[in-house]
Amino acid sequence: MTRTKIVFVGAGSVVFTQGLLADLFAFPQLQQAHIALHDIDAERLATARGAARLIAAERGAAPRISTHTDRREALTGADFVINIIQVGMREATRTDFEVPARYGLRQTIGDTLGIGGIFRALRTFPVLKALGEDIAEICPNAWLLNYTNPMAMNVGYLTRATGLTRVVGLCHSVYWTMQGLAELVGVPYEEVDYRAAGVNHQAWVLRFEHNGTDLYPKLDALIAEDAELRRRVRVDMYRRLGYYPTETSEHSSEYVPWYLGHDSEITRLRLPVGAYLGIVDENMAAYEETRRALTAGEPVPVESTMEYAPQIIHSIVTGTPRTVYGNVPNHGLIDNLPADGVVEVPCLVDALGVQPTRVGALPAQCAALNRAYLSMNDLVVRAALEDDPRHIRHAAMADPATAAALPVERIWDLCDDMARAHGDLLQPALRATLGN
């Protein structure tokens, strides 16, 4: 029997791995797949294997489950590769927050733009390059489904550094945004028709309808009568820009210069500075609880996550057509964004693979913010591709929230301190300190 082979790179992200496996095994056609789990941490890998076996048994699935500390071994014969690595783990994430905080720079999540996003990308790129080169050599027809943030920078780097074309970045922000909006206006999600496009964590709901009727006026009325709704960054952005952004207020506040630099706005919009550090601690606690439960032989409750990767795999394997949202190189998909930028657009998926949909032009005000986002992304990718540490500083200077908070000399000093703090996680040329 030929089994579909699905490789998890970074399978030690056990909680996320569990959710994806629960979704995969919900499809009868994937219940006998070969699940290859790869991680460089043997303890986490063993925990992931135990969780995978338990989920398979609970779902009545009979997959082949293999574990590998050798990535190339795991990739042999792969049809799909799901990337969920986090380079540097909790310690590096703390660095991303604590060093900028000493400069008075506020961040909430720090995984997409800003100083946190820049250095998360730069420490991830060397691993992505090695992974991409391995895929190109060992399983060139495999689809690489990336979940690792910063999404747009990682997909952009992968495609430019390795030449891989079957790369799609996946994020649940559009799906959960529309779930939340549907609940807010009192229409079942299944009955809502919508279309969104832009960049990851800063896409825009371009259409929001029910039975052909625009739902935006209903949303406007709810916002007008509810002062607490108006205390959300994404609602504030929607009121001013005319299109609802597809990421949480915590995320959205970091991508523009208007909020985190002002105490009054942090209070008005209830922004949790440093929130991601708490999320990291919660994830670690969830991992430890999973490990403890498996060791004790106790059940590990796992809920389906409705993530896109299992849906994509099922559609390609079975030919079942679906529409998902994917992050891919622009290449004419959005007219008024850079051609080599990574954009988030609807994608048709069937037996032929993931096929992005052309959107046309975004509203001018939305495209203006997206272009700033992509310009910063481009500089970070160029820093790695060209071994040019000056581009790291250029990216930080171009980042809206960083530029709003710090004078240029302090931006360069901060980049020096971050390069020192992350040290060997960066490619050698990018460890340089440049001073002012």
Active-site residue among 34, 38, 68, 172? 172
What span, in angstroms and rounded, lies between the C-alpha atoms of 47 and 62? 19
Q: How many CA atoms lie within 13 A of 434 on its CB side?
A: 16
CB-based contact 48:39 (threshold 8 Å): yes
Torsion angle (degrees, nearest 10) of CA 59, 8, 64, 52: -40
Give the helix/strand (H/E) hosting 324. strand 322-329
Reference 155, options 197, 112, 195; nearest CA is 112
Helix (H, G, I), strand (E, B) or coil at 132: helix
What are the CA-CA distances from residue 341 to residues 8, 152, 153, 198, 373 (Å)? 26, 8, 9, 11, 10
Burial class of residue 147 in the structure, from the number of CB atoms within 10 Å of its CB (0-12 exposed, 13-18 middle, 19+ buried): buried
Q: Is 422 a catalytic residue?
A: no
Residues 61, 53: Cα–Cα separation, whole Å: 9
Interatomic CA distance for residues 295 and 298, integer angstroms: 8
Work out whether strand 34-38 and strand 5-9 pair parallel, antiparallel, or are unpaired. Answer: parallel
Beta carbons of 151 and 377 less than 8 angstroms apart? no
Give, as one character, the DSSP assignment of residue 273: T
Which H/E stretch holds residue 143?
Answer: strand 143-146
As annotated, the active-site residues are 172
